[in-house]
């Protein structure tokens, strides 16, 4: 499982087909979440814990020493199968490492529920929908996590 974590001043997900916003947050984290074919609930829980406890918000001294719960921030979680793009051959990415939609959706929801257990308010995109993600990256701070490396 992979997460591209962005510390944001605000972020939202717009659904052009429905002409509506599906999720919107102020200060917090935008998580682009990729799920691999061999991922399980264990990886979802590990990554949820890491994202929830990571100290990447500044304290009174300007040091990254606070977590999302310390600042009462929110998360916006968006499913992103393209995080597993394989671009080693040719010019068109392959997505064979990305989990099939049936598995990915279950683990995506499991990740969201695992984050909520930490008391964090979570907004989401819509699984398999065309979405437009807007954000103001704060810092900028962008961190890449892969459960293979945790």
The residues carrying an active-site annotation are: 82
Structure tokens given for 128: 């398999």
Beta bridge partners of 58: 64
Q: Which residues of 12-43 are buried (b: 16+ CB within 10 A; e: fewer)?
A: bbbbeeeeeebbebebbbbbbbbbbeebeeeb
Q: What is the DSSP letter of 127?
A: T
Alpha carbons 135 and 118: distance in angstroms, whole number: 23
Query: Residue 148: left (phi > 0), alpha (psi -120 to 50), or beta?
Result: alpha
- Taking the CB of residue 111, how many other CB atoms lie within 10 A of it? 28
């Amino acid at each position: 499982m992979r997460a591209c974590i962005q510390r944001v001043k605000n972020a939202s997900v717009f659904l052009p087909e429905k002409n509506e916003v599906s999720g919107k947050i102020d200060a917090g984290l935008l998580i682009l979440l990729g799920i691999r074919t061999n991922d399980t609930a264990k990886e979802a829980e590990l990554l949820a814990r890491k994202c929830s406890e990571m100290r990447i918000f500044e304290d009174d001294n300007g040091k990254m020493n606070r977590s999302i719960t310390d600042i009462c921030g929110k998360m916006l979680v968006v499913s992103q199968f393209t995080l597993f793009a394989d671009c080693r051959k040719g010019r068109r990415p392959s997505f064979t490492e990305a989990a099939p939609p049936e598995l990915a959706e279950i683990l995506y929801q499991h990740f969201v529920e695992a984050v909520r257990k930490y008391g964090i308010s979570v907004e989401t995109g819509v699984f398999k929908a065309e979405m437009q993600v807007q954000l103001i990256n704060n810092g900028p701070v962008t961190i890449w996590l892969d459960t293979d490396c945790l």
